[in-house]
Amino acid sequence: MICLPSGVLGQGKYIQNCESGISSAKNNNLSQSVNYFTEAIQQKQRNSTAYCLRAYSYFLLKDQQKGIQDATAAISMDNNNPWPYFVRGLIYADQKNDDQAIADLTQAIVFEKEEGSLLARHALYMRANSYFRTGAYASAISDLNVYGAHPYENDAFQLLLAQSYLKDRRYAEGANAFAQIVQSDPQNKTALYYKGYCLLQTGDQAGAKSVMAQFREWNAQESELFANNPTGFFDLEKRQAQADMLYQEAMVEIRSAKETTAKALAYIQLYDAFILLDSAYQYLPAAEIDKSGLRPLIFSEITNVYPQLKEKPQIPEAARKYIVQALAATESKEYLVAQGFYLQAQQIAPWAPIIYNNLAFLMEKSSRFTEAIGYMETYILLSPNEKDTRSAQDKIYEWELKAGKSENTPGVTANAMHLQLMDDILGMNYVPGDYLVAMSFGGAFGYQANKNIALGEYWDNLNPTPGYTYSEKLPFVYSADAELIIKPWVHFGAGAFFKGLGGIGMHSTSLESDHDIGAFTINYGPFIRYYFPSKYGIAPLFFAQLGAGTSKMMGDLFIYTDPEYTQWIEAALIGSAPCITATLGLAGKSLPSSNFYVHLSLEYVRVIFDELEYEITGSSNSPEIIGFTGTLSSSFALEPVTAIYSGIMLKMAFGFAVP
């Protein structure tokens, strides 16, 4: 019984487990995908692919330590592979360990040979993020500009590039970059705000005022605070400082109201505190822009003070307008539009309970139960004594049950980009539908590059019929082929070829003479094949192949030696020579799920017989010479006749593959 190494036999199962792991990730079951990759590792413990895939799954599961361990193990097995560096760099970037992230992502970019690939683009983008966080804004800009040279830009890329220009004080370029974001997303307040700031820094007051006017459409109350003063409007630090001052004054009023025994005075102080808190909230720019940490502090005090006010403030007209528009959008089932209107109303009147109550039920319609719970809890904080507080709390209990069923599903959702990256990791080393053994049969036809001068001279010396000159009739070469390949390794295969090669023989018939030179050869030997890494998970695979073997001449020679066709000699042509083949093409299973094997290639073949021997096998009038052997030579120069096969052929073959 012939036994193959267990690693060879396990390749089909190994790939199957890797594919199953990716399939589980696509079904949002990352925990199960880890189990499949673990099984693959147990089958091929010295192969980096499954380690890299499991590391990426751990990254998506936020299990960073295990992800780093697996990526490091993959690097130790294949330190020229960009993928383990890329995955480890992602994890370091997620940890904000930016120096390590930059080092690994740089290695990934260096080892990645395909410029513009998903890996190269994402590595550049993530490295730019790390550069940005470390204050290396010029380097971030450089990476982002290379990234942007390919048609794959996204909103996050545009925003990071614009912010890098801003931090690097390249305000004109920053204004243009933010303007591009606003052009594609007119509701992006962050981009619009910083566009105005950059315009102001370049001295474009008119442009900055135009941006202010756009903000006035969203929140007239905020714009009124700054009249027509773009300098104050776009000075983020001063706005935050003013908000902090108002917040501190409000806290003084709140403490005084707690300490006084006069209820009327306490009410006045609470009302004053509310006015100060509301003003502080308005001084802060939109939530998307403000990162000071003041907003949650101010809002917490608003939810504390507002329920204690005996007379509730009227909802401003601008906020009322947005609430009415949100209700209309909800009726039309335009839930995202309605949410946008409510959030604009919330920026103007953050204390209005109706906004949070309506947002909660809007989130329920979209099955976003966790958000619904948060909004309803805010509603209860602002109106604890309303008649519907009991039913609001009951709604929260109901949504908690639904949130548990719909949102706490096994695993973590992986987006399309993450899944494509996992496909690419597998495709870098294995293709869906990989195989262990394949056999094919086919043929090839092509152009004979070298002329057989010596063989041609021999032919022409036989005085063939005019029009049958040797050199005029032999532009082509052809073959019948069989091939067996074993593919136990990541990129390499080895096998044996068999080739019946013909095309340099000649035949002519006339009243004077009939000659025939048959020059068919049998060629066989081993070959090695390299499969190029696939970025796209395709089958068959591109490959390059080199073969070296032996060629045996299986020709014949038939000559009539007189015009009456009565005297003839028949001989076998014998010879042996090296056979060299070089091939580029596609080979593999026609579909991942099929065992049908296809091969399409361009093949160069070179065989040179330095001399040809003959053995007489028949004679019309001299039977005694049968069995006589010798070297075929020119009848004049007596030099050995050589024969050359040297041509490029298009080869096609079909067969079957065993996983």
Residue 428 domain-assigned (yes or no): no
Instruction: Choose between 638 and 410: higher pLDDT.
Output: 638
Structure-model confidence comparison of residues 407 and 524, the more confident one: 524
**Distance from C-alpha of 143 to C-alpha of 160, rounded to nearest angstrom:** 11
| Domain count across the chain | 4
In sequence order, what are the beta bridge partners of 645?
607
**Which residues are paired to 437 by β-bridges?**
486, 658
Domain C-terminal end among 397, 423, 449: 423
182-226: pLDDT as tens digits: 888 887 888 888 898 899 899 998 888 888 888 777 666 666 667
Torsion of CA 45, 50, 52, 54, to 10 degrees: -110
pLDDT tens per residue across span 462-510: 665 555 555 545 578 899 999 999 987 767 889 999 999 988 776 665 4
Q: 591 falls in which pLDDT band (50, 70, 90)? A: low
Asked whether residue 208 is domain-assigned, the answer is yes
Structure tokens at 456: 């041609």
585 and 478 both lie in a single domain: yes
Q: Do residues 14 and 47 lie in contact, with contact meaning Cβ atoms separated by under 8 Å?
A: yes
Same domain flag for 248 and 340: no
Please indicate, yes or no, whether residues 438 and 550 belong to a single structural domain of this protein.
Answer: yes
What confidence tens digit (pLDDT) does each residue in 539-557 have? Answer: 577 899 999 999 999 888 7
Instruction: Give dist(CA 89, CA 103) in Å, integer.
Output: 8
With CA atoms as reference, report the closest residue to 145 among 125, 171, 167, 166.
Answer: 125
pLDDT band at 6 (very low <50, low <70, confident <90, very high): very low
- Of the candidates 118, 123, 122, the residue with the CA atom closest to the CA atom of residue 103: 123
Considering the domain architecture, whether residues 225 and 276 belong to the same structural domain is answered as no
Reported as a pLDDT band with limits 50, 70 and 90, residue 10 is very low
Residue with the larger pLDDT of the pair 527 and 56: 527
User: Which residue would you say has higher pLDDT here, 454 or 54?
Assistant: 54
How confident is the model over 139-183, as pLDDT tens digits?
999 988 887 765 555 667 888 899 899 999 999 999 999 998 888
Residues 249 and 326 in one domain: no
pLDDT given at position 170: 94
Residues 154 and 249 in one domain: no
| 155-167 helix and 137-147 helix, angle to the nearest 10 degrees | 150
Domain boundary among 389, 423, 457: 423
- Same domain? 239 vs 213: no
pLDDT for 1 equals 27
Question: What local confidence, expressed as pLDDT, does residue 467 receive?
Answer: 52
Q: What is the mean pLDDT of residues 389-396?
A: 90
Residue 331 lies in a domain: yes
Contact 512, 465 (CB under 8 A): yes
Three-state SS annotation for 485-514 = EECCCCCEEEEEEEEEEECCCEEEECCCCE
- Examine the domain organization and report whether 141 and 220 are in the same domain: yes
**Band of the pLDDT at 525, cuts 50, 70, 90?**
very high
- In the predicted model, what is the mean pLDDT of the chain? 82
Write the CATH number for 378.
1.25.40.10
Calpha distance 61→163 (Å, rounded): 29
Which residue in 118, 181, 128, 127 sits closest to 150, CA to CA? 118
Residue 300 pLDDT more than 70? yes
pLDDT at 307 over 70: yes
- Please report where in the chains the tokens 């780093």 appear, as a residue: 68
Provide the domain limits for residue 319.
315-410
Alpha-carbon distance of 266 to 256, in angstroms, equals: 7
Strands annotated E in 267-348: none
**Torsional sign, CA 435, 437, 443, 444:** positive
| CATH number of the CATH domain containing 248 | 1.20.58
pLDDT of res. 326 = 92
Are 531 and 500 in the same domain? Answer: yes
Residue 1 lies in a domain: no
**High-pLDDT (> 90) share of the chain, %:** 34
- Indicate the residue among 366, 401, 423 that finishes a domain: 423
What is the pLDDT at residue 414?
47
Q: What is the pLDDT of residue 3?
A: 31
One domain, residues 129 and 164: yes
CA 323 to mean position of chain CA atoms: 43
User: Is residue 100 in a domain?
Assistant: yes
Q: What is the pLDDT of residues 118-133, one digit of tens each?
A: 788 888 989 999 999 9
Q: How many helical (H) and strand (E) elements, i.e. helices and strands, does the chain have? A: 25, 12
pLDDT-derived band at 81, boundaries 50, 70, 90: confident
pLDDT at res. 563: 62
Q: Phi and psi at residue 543, in whole multiples of 5°?
A: -145, 160
Q: What is the pLDDT of residue 427?
A: 57
Read off φ and ψ for residue 105, nearest 5 degrees: -65, -30
pLDDT at 581: 96
Which pLDDT score is estimated for 410?
A: 39
Q: Which residues contact 571 (CB under 8 A, 6 or more apart)?
A: 556, 557, 558, 614, 615, 616, 617, 618
In a domain, 101, yes or no: yes
Residue 399's nearest CA partner among 422, 368, 421, 428 is 368
- Quick one: 303 and 276 in the same domain? yes
Are residues 573 and 607 located together in one domain of the fold? Answer: yes
Tens-digit pLDDT profile for residues 226-272: 766 778 888 888 888 888 999 999 999 999 988 888 888 888 898 99
- pLDDT for the residue numbered 295: 86
Return the bridge partners of 529, or none.
493, 545
Phi, psi (rounded to 5 degrees) for 371: -65, -40
Residue type, 38: T
Q: What is the CATH number of the domain that holds 536?
A: 2.40.160.20
**Residue 5 binned pLDDT confidence (cut-offs 50, 70, 90):** very low
Any idea what DSSP says for residue 570?
E
